[in-house]
Structure 1
Amino acid sequence: MDFFTVLLLILVGAGGGVALANTLRKRAGITDIQRDSVLLLERIEKVFKVVMAEGYFSEIYNYQDQKKILYLLNDPKKAMIIVKSKVLVGFDFAKIRFQTPVNGEKKLIIESFPEPEVLSIDTDYKFYDIQAGILNHFSGADYTQILDEAKQAMNERAMQSDLPKIANNQIQYMMYQLASSMGWQLQLPEADQKQLEALKAQAEADSRLSKQLNSGSIFEK
């Protein structure tokens, strides 16, 4: 046999060996999966953000995209996504504007207080009933768009809930208690100050009621 015949037999034998190995591997249920990940750190920033309330939300998000073939036939694709999220609402203290006390007065004056905002959304997505069209298939960009829209909808739903109000009440009363424990007086902007006074009155009423319940005097009459 000449050189080319021997080389051909070697290649055929090698190919047969690879095919046999793949067949045996499939039958044995062995798969060769490789995963690589690369961590990229873009930047680190110092922040002073405080979480005051958290909420848990579930939502069914329906996605549908209509596409016409030759401007005549509809070729829709659709998917149903169940979204579960944990939303943290709080404040960015870097946005607070303070007024410096004068003459050593122990009075904390806040000129401007930020609005509550969503600090983070931890979201879990599950796709159901994915139906692609004949030519209108799902792409990676479609899935990215779906997830972005679902997250934005969850953000809007959280801000329309009671979370911002709860966070606002929490931060005002916490700052009041902190200032009082240090012998300082807290002064907020007018609207916030009225809300704080209402919270203080409610807290004092709850405290009195709790003491009466514990002492049993409320049942003596």
Structure 2
Amino acid sequence: MDFFTTALLLLVGAGGGVAFANVLRKRSGQTDARRESTLLLERIEKVFKVVMAEGYFSEIYNYQDQKKILYVLNDPKKAMIIAKSKVLVGFDFAKVRFRTDENGAKILAIESFPEPEVLSIDTDYKFYDIQAGYLNHFHSEDYTKILDDAKQAMNERALQSDLPKIANNQIQYMMYQLAGSMGWQLQLPDAEQRQLDALKAQTERELDSTKRLPPGQ
């Protein structure tokens, strides 16, 4: 058998092997899908934000868009989204304005304290009942807008809940305890000081009632 005959047989055999491997791959359901991602770091910022309350929310968001064909016939598209979110509420301490006593006394006076804000929303979205119109189809920007609107609705719902109040109470009491542990006296603006005094009184009552409970309860 000469060289060319041998080479021809090798090529035919290799081709048959590749074809057979492709058949087996298709039958086994394997694909050659490739995924690539590129991470771009835009900037790093130093922040002093403290999480004081955490809440979990579920939201059913209905999206509907009406489009008229030839200004006569309606061609709606709609979708239902179920969003489950973990919301963290806290404070940006860069916005706190304070001063110390001019006479050297250990008094920390808070002149201005920021409102609690949503620091992050971690949301899991699931789309259900997606119905496109005959000509009114869904596009990538539609899904982006739906997710943005759903996240904004979750942000507003979190701010309307008890999370901001809980975060306020937490931060005031934490600062009070921290200042006291270092021998400092904390002074808050009038409204916040009244809230802190009420919280301290409530805490003392709860501790007192706990001490009065019989052993084992």
Summarize the Cα distance change of 1:28–1:43 in structure 2 as closer, same or farther, 3 Å threshold. same
User: 1:151-203: CA deviations, max 9, x gaps?
Assistant: 00000000000000000000000000111111111000000001100011111
How many angstroms does 1:28 deviate by? 3.0
Higher alpha-carbon deviation: 68-77 or 83-92: 68-77
Mapping for residues 30-69 of structure 1, pairs under 5 Å: 30-69=30-69
- Displacement of 1:30 in angstroms is 1.8
**CA deviation string 1:107-135 (max 9, x = no partner):** 01000000000000000000000001111
Percent identity among equivalent residues?
Answer: 81
SS at match of 2:213: helix
3-state SS in 1 of match to 2:191: helix
Can you give the 5+ residue segments of structure 2 that lack an aligned partner in the other structure? Answer: 1-16
Task: Kindly provide the amino acid, as one letter, of the partner of residue 195 in structure 1.
Answer: Q
- Return 206-215 or 70-79, whichever deviates more: 206-215
Rounded to whole Å, the distance in 2 between the matches of 1:158 and 1:65 is: 26
In structure 2, the partner of 1:176 is 176
TM-score by length of 1: 0.86
Q: Distance in 2 between matches of 1:68 and 1:18?
A: 53
Q: CA deviation at 1:26?
A: 3.0
Q: Whole-Å Cα distance in 2 between the matches of residues 105 and 28 of structure 1?
A: 78
Query: Equivalents in 2 of 1:24, 1:135: separation in Å?
Result: 41
Deviation at 1:100, TM superposition (A): 2.7
- What is the match of residue 99 of structure 2? 99
**Corresponding position of 1:5:** none
Say if 2:42 is the partner of 1:75: no
- Aligned partners of 2:206 and 2:29: how far apart in 1? 65
Q: In structure 2, what is the equivalent of residue 147 of structure 1?
A: 147
* Residues 69 and 38 of structure 1: CA distance in aligned 2, closer, same or farther (over 3 Å): same
Cα deviation, residue 27, structure 1? 2.9
Distance of 1:134 and 1:23 partners within structure 2: 38
- Give the C-alpha shift of residue 24 in structure 1: 5.5
SS at match of 2:165: helix
Report the counterpart of residue 131 of structure 1 in structure 2: 131
Task: Specify the code of the residue in structure 2 equivalent to 1:71.
Answer: Y
1:166 partner letter: I
Letter aligned with residue 43 of structure 1: R
In structure 2, distance between residues paired with 1:58 and 1:94 = 31
C-alpha distance in 2 between matches for 1:143 and 1:107: 53
SS at 2:136's partner residue? Answer: coil
Provide structure 1 residue ranges, at least 5 long, that are not aligned to the other structure.
1-16, 217-221
The answer for the alignment partner of 1:211 in structure 2 is: 211
1:201 maps to 2:166: no
Which residue identity lines up with residue 157 of structure 1 in the other structure?
R
Task: Give the counterpart letter for 1:202 in structure 2.
Answer: Q
SS in 1 for 2:88: strand
Report how many residues are paired: 201
> Per the alignment, in what secondary structure is the counterpart of residue 34 of structure 1?
coil
Q: Secondary structure at the match of 1:103?
A: coil
Structure 2 partner of 1:190: 190
